[in-house]
Amino acid sequence: MSHFAHACGVHDAPRTAACEAVHRKIGELGLERVRIAWCDMHGALRGKTLMPAATMQALTHGVSMVSSILLKDTSDRTAYNVFEPGALSALPGFGAANNLMLLPDPTSLCLLPWASGTGWMRAQAWFADATPVTVEPRFVLQAALARLADAGYRLRCGLEVEFHIYRIVRENLDPQLADWPGEPPEVEMIHPGYNLLSEANADMAEPALRIVQSTARALGLPLRSLEIELGPSQVEAVFDPGDALTVADQMVLFRNGVRQALRRAGFYASFVCRPPFPNVMASGWHLHQSVIALADGGNAFMRAAPAPGTTPADAQHTLSSTGAHWLGGLLAHAGGAAIFGTPTVNGFTRFKPHSMAPLSILWGRDNRGAMLRVLGGSGDAATRIENRVGEPMANPYLYIASQIHSGLSGLRRQSDPGPASDAPYAQGAALPRNLEQALAALEADATLCEAFGAQLVDLYNRIKRSELERHRAATDADVWMRREYFSRY
């Protein structure tokens, strides 16, 4: 029998079997409800909670969702007047808060360890005519990966994510305090900071870190380590590398899961780059990447021996020609891609001299001050490039897609990355210094605009300018930053 999933062209024999497995698991696990979730433009999960019978129906017929959710800025204000005729002419398929359809992935079913009797499934958005919503972030990454596959490669990524965990002192849920956005809870630190990798601070933070570990394990996430970062109440999670789409899915699920699990236990996790406190240390998201050749499964960045006549300052001393050209592409499009790695007003406050956050468009050999850090060596299957631009609030699908499009441009043009820098805070062209400059850099990058498509670029520009304009209009920038980001991300 034909249904919506058939019309979308995604329902085949394996998916049918997966749907039947979901039906069995709902009974075996005693699930009373299933959350159907998808990722918005800002990397946050949205969704609906369905009862078991409705869940099974959604697997084949989809479940409706208001389209304006994709049009919202970080405050949840819709950046378009959706009821004005012609306001959405550049976004075919979007209308006056019309319906999109969410189609769950049956293979993604998991049990939420902090919510009894509750399952979870990832979904993607489709138009009612069974065509994909091409501006949806996960589809954007899938399209980028398809381009990469056409070139004979797949992308392998590794995550290093810094964030903050606080203990909640008091929730600000008094209805008299309600605002848009509202106030975050009052919090205190779980460790005093300024003692990097401190064993004593790790012990102080152990109750919260234990929840992070158990949540990640229960969700099937490949957590490798939890570490005490330099800043007060700051920690870092490091994950095993994996295929790019899987890693992006894991990042979204990790952020969502640890925030919910910790809050139930009286803790408050924030992936905001710079929380609104004095002497806080900004958090980064370091994205490791290498490309894998589809032909033989080998790391296409690795070389057997340094290129003749090269020194460690030359890219092809460490990287293959493929890796060197990919590195050149990342450099060539670093300005335009910056908005996807650092997409908030808050995130740009991280870029300061000698802070291990980049200021300039350059690369270095195992240099944590450089924007791009090249790691590995001859015969090392873990040879890779680490991009240090990202903030932990970034949408992983868009951030990783920007790396693919930049790298592919480098391969096509055989871009030369030039020599490594040993003075990352004294050399190189400047990265965008704020959200306005980053938006302008994207608009000026014809290659990235073509790769992402005019609809996605226009939409992203619109919602980011809404955020920027409200920041400029704020009478108190600190209050605005606290409510805009720290209260919900």
377 and 265 in a single domain? The answer is yes
273 and 386 in a single domain? The answer is yes
123 and 152 in a single domain? The answer is no
Asked whether 277 and 173 are in contact (CB, 8 A), the reply is no
The verdict on residue 3 lying in a domain is no
98 and 156 in a single domain? The answer is no
Q: How many domains does the chain have?
A: 2
164 and 25 in a single domain? The answer is no
pLDDT per position in the chain (489 positions), as tens?
A: 689 999 999 989 999 999 999 999 999 999 999 999 999 999 999 999 999 999 999 999 999 999 999 999 999 999 999 999 999 999 999 999 999 999 999 999 999 999 999 999 999 999 999 999 999 999 999 999 999 999 999 999 999 999 999 999 999 999 998 999 999 999 999 999 999 999 999 999 999 999 999 999 999 999 999 999 999 999 999 999 999 999 999 999 999 999 999 999 999 999 999 999 999 999 999 999 999 999 999 999 999 999 999 999 999 999 999 999 999 999 999 999 999 999 999 999 999 888 889 999 999 999 999 999 999 999 999 999 999 999 999 999 999 999 999 999 999 999 999 999 999 998 899 999 999 999 999 999 999 999 999 999 999 999 999 999 999 999 999 999 999 999 999
What range does the domain containing 23 cover?
13-133
112 and 158 in a single domain? The answer is no
The verdict on residue 8 lying in a domain is no
The residue length of the chain stands at 489
Nearest to 24 by CA among 49, 52, 5: 52
189 and 79 in a single domain? The answer is no
The verdict on residue 1 lying in a domain is no
Query: C-alpha 128: how far from its chain's center?
Result: 27
The verdict on residue 455 lying in a domain is yes
27 and 169 in a single domain? The answer is no
97 and 179 in a single domain? The answer is no
What CATH number does the domain containing 128 carry?
3.10.20.70
Asked whether 271 and 392 are in contact (CB, 8 A), the reply is yes
SS3 content of the chain, % helix, strand, coil (to 5): 40, 20, 40
297 and 431 in a single domain? The answer is yes
311 and 439 in a single domain? The answer is yes
- What are 187-191's contacts with CB under 8 Å, separation 24+? 187/268, 189/232, 189/233, 190/165, 190/166, 190/233, 190/267, 191/228, 191/232, 191/233
Nearest to 238 by CA among 256, 251, 249: 251
Residue pointed to by tokens 């979204």: 252
The verdict on residue 140 lying in a domain is no
What CATH number does the domain containing 294 carry?
3.30.590.10
Provide CB contacts within 8 A for 246, sequence distance 6+.
none
437 and 296 in a single domain? The answer is yes
The verdict on residue 7 lying in a domain is no
The verdict on residue 4 lying in a domain is no
